[in-house]
Structure 1
Amino acid sequence: MPTQMKASFLNKQSEVAVVMLPVPVLEADQVLVRVAAVGVCGSDVHYYQHGRIGPYVVNHPLILGHELSGRITAVGSAVDSARVGQRVAVEPQRPCRVCEQCKAGRYNLCPDIEFFATPPIDGAFCEYVAIQSDFAHSIPDSISDEAAALIEPLSVGIWACKRAGVALGSRVLIAGAGPIGVIVAQTAKAFGASTVYITDVSDDRRAFALGHGADVALDPRVDSVEGLEVDVFIDASGVAAAVQAGIKAVRPAGRVILVGMGNDTVELPVSWIQNREIWLSGVFRYANTWPLGIELVGSGKVDLDVLVTGRYGLEQAEEALNSGKLSGEMKAIVYPGR
């Protein structure tokens, strides 16, 4: 095993550099994963461009990246050595496991959770990471490294659809046809939705969504969604106008799920929500979603490989973080080992 590895650090806002640092030392319950692929998330881009997300501030150099896959190369003393060599999709978080939320199965709400690439916890734009063994989920050879990494954003889609109660015959409206919106569309279909509407101002993204989960694509600049009477509205845009319009598309006793990150405060049509008894919730990451995500990808019900539009080496991490500005870009992947 090497003792040193390459890592891409966000030194400060808009400044990225590749440096050498020690390979992580394993705790008893951990495995060492040689990172194969890392997806670039909107949160990574936000940290790069602004140096913070809400209360999370990059005060010290930070390794970005939390959507990852790889291969186990070493195990801690309490882990079965048979795990060495396994390909895995990594769930990039470490809950405390003993608080009230963890014991209730809501470990995503653990107040002491450590999450990759969220200050001060480093992420996966590096050659090796350490993670608790049960959060390194084995994957079959039929799933690519890229798709395995993207089980992380798929988990957001799974969690949103579960919270929304999407089921056989559901009619679903999604705002935003970026990577999360398209993943939510595919997930809703996998859950049995009969009709999936999606909105976006981008012609290219609407066209892409129609080929990958959505049945109807609407331009919110000219198409009104009010009156659709859908069972579920899921916002993946973070745009206040989209949230407001989507709520008015929901039938009485329907559900609204807020996934997209926008302004901290949004004006809502409260009387509409009250009079229709609409159930509204946010989502914060996910819990216990990787097994289902692996099943959905392995069975072909969800296609994550189709989202990959850009491929970059570790030394090109800054280019990957800026790739969202390119026309037609959907999902960039960084390969630390290349």
Structure 2
Amino acid sequence: MSASARAIVIDRPGEHRLVSGPQAEPGPGEARVTVHTAGVSRSDRELYDGTRPPALVRYPVIPGHEWSGTVDAVGEGAPPELLGRKVVAEGFRACLVCDRCREGAGNLCTRGYEETGFTRPGAFGDSLLVPARLLHVLADCADLRAAALLAPAAVSAAAVLAGVPRPGDRIAVVGAGTLGLLALQLLAACSPAELVAIDPRVQRCERALRMGATQAGPPGENSVSYGRFDLVVEAAGAFSAAQEACLLVRRGGRVVLTGMFGPGAEGIDPEHLVEGQLTVRAVFGAPPSAWSHAVRAWEAGFLDPVPLITHELPLTAFGEAMALVGSEDPAVGKVLLTP
């Protein structure tokens, strides 16, 4: 008989419950993972509030797309050597056959959006099932508490790779939340001449300086004047952040947007883009290449997510975790749930 397992289920916006039932068995090609730690993100709060775009969620759902754990069972066709290994996993459930998937951009799969924790059961529970092909195996000595932040690190890695940073570049990161702070660490490894974090919150700026920024401050300070940066990475998702990023970059510079902008966001002036001959890239989630980059950077010591963690709660405190993430308190960094 299968052991009992718990999970948080969001039935509809604003309504969640803790359920318990038989532990699911892995099907063909699947691995079952005992969850060690799961991160709570702003996307989870949007899922709970009902503000996430309808095409990107399917209720009822077990949330949790940032996690780490250990493989405890594998299904037919999955590599048996995965048993007992520490792992993280990509979230997108791509079809693998459309043109975008064949290019290696499974995050842009044209067969429809499917993602762990949003349309498929996630990691806010004792265990979860994932296709074994999505796993990234970690070293036996890996710190699984830190590894839970490799999912947002992969998004930051996608942004950094898209920005093509070069040694000696003047670089700015707009937003010093989780994505921005992880991007700062990855960009610091590229030997920039300047690495400036831009955020109106003093505590976030102080954190950014510890993450590798050479300067940090709110928009409008001398160090963050417009038109002087070779590369600007937007990681704020605020209404005016995309426009701000394009004003900060020099003529001929590069801008990478990572934020999910809500209704009412201020647009980018196309005349400014053309006259400045700006290169603007956008990032939606992370493709496999970005996941691999994040894992390698973390294992090599260029990425340390642990200082971002400010709160650790049990699974039963899901409601408290939602309140923390939605509080807008600058003292709240990464919130973790531990089954």
TM over 0.5, yes or no?
A: yes
Q: How does 1:26-105 map to 2 (within 5 A)?
A: 26-49=26-49, 51-56=50-55, 60-105=59-104
Residues 143, 190 of structure 1: alpha-carbon distance in 2 compared, 3 angstrom cutoff: farther
Query: TM-score, structure 1 length as denominator?
Result: 0.93
Q: How does 1:302-321 map to 2 (within 5 A)?
A: 302-321=303-322
Unaligned runs of 5+ in 1: none
Tell me which moved more, 15-24 or 102-111.
15-24
Please report how far the alpha carbon of residue 170 of structure 1 lies from its aligned counterpart in structure 2 after TM superposition: 2.2
Q: Distance in 1 between matches of 2:22 and 2:92?
A: 21
Q: How does 1:143-154 map to 2 (within 5 A)?
A: 143-154=142-153
Secondary structure in 1 aligned to 2:81?
helix
Residues 123, 207 of structure 1: alpha-carbon distance in 2 compared, 3 angstrom cutoff: same
CA contact (8 A) 2:9 2:16 kept: yes
CA contact (8 A) 1:232 1:255 kept: yes
CA contact (8 A) 1:226 1:245 kept: no
CA contact (8 A) 2:204 2:330 kept: no
Instruction: Report the counterpart of residue 171 of structure 1 in structure 2.
Output: 170
Instruction: Report the counterpart of residue 285 of structure 1 in structure 2.
Output: 285
Secondary structure in 2 aligned to 1:322?
helix
Tell me which moved more, 3-12 or 155-164.
3-12
Q: Distance in 2 between matches of 1:198 and 1:282?
A: 19
Question: CA-to-partner distance for each residue in 1:216-262, whole Å, 9 max, x for gaps?
Answer: 10212656734352111111112233322321221222111111122
Please report how far the alpha carbon of residue 295 of structure 1 lies from its aligned counterpart in structure 2 after TM superposition: 1.7
Q: Distance in 1 between matches of 2:81 and 2:267?
A: 54
Q: Distance in 2 between matches of 1:2 and 1:52?
A: 36
Q: Distance in 2 between matches of 1:43 and 1:223?
A: 33
Q: How does 1:1-338 map to 2 (within 5 A)?
A: 2-49=2-49, 51-56=50-55, 60-111=59-110, 112-118=112-118, 120-220=119-219, 225-264=224-263, 265-288=265-288, 289-324=290-325, 325=327, 326=329, 328-336=331-339
Q: Distance in 2 between matches of 1:209 and 1:230?
A: 18
| Partner AA of 2:321 in structure 1 | A
Q: Distance in 1 between matches of 2:179 and 2:322?
A: 17
Q: Distance in 1 between matches of 2:22 and 2:74?
A: 17
Q: Distance in 2 between matches of 1:57 and 1:108?
A: 12
Question: CA-to-partner distance for each residue in 1:7-50, whole Å, 9 max, x for gaps?
Answer: 0112222222111134233222111101111011110011112x
Please report how far the alpha carbon of residue 60 of structure 1 lies from its aligned counterpart in structure 2 after TM superposition: 3.0
Q: Distance in 2 between matches of 1:22 and 1:170?
A: 54
Q: Distance in 1 between matches of 2:198 and 2:226?
A: 15
| Partner AA of 2:337 in structure 1 | V
Secondary structure in 2 aligned to 1:88?
strand
Residues 69, 57 of structure 1: alpha-carbon distance in 2 compared, 3 angstrom cutoff: closer
| Partner AA of 2:310 in structure 1 | T
| Partner AA of 1:311 in structure 2 | E
Q: Distance in 2 between matches of 1:113 and 1:263?
A: 19
CA contact (8 A) 2:86 2:142 kept: no
Secondary structure in 2 aligned to 1:253?
strand
Q: Distance in 2 between matches of 1:39 and 1:18?
A: 17
Q: Distance in 2 between matches of 1:156 and 1:97?
A: 20
Query: TM-score, structure 2 length as denominator?
Result: 0.92
Residues matched between the structures, number: 334
CA contact (8 A) 2:6 2:20 kept: yes
| Partner AA of 2:29 in structure 1 | D
CA contact (8 A) 1:7 1:18 kept: yes
- Please list every run of at least 4 consecutive aligned residues from structure 1 whose deviation after the TM superposition is greater than 4 angstroms: 221-224
Please report how far the alpha carbon of residue 56 of structure 1 lies from its aligned counterpart in structure 2 after TM superposition: 3.5
CA contact (8 A) 1:225 1:246 kept: no
Q: Distance in 2 between matches of 1:284 and 1:182?
A: 18
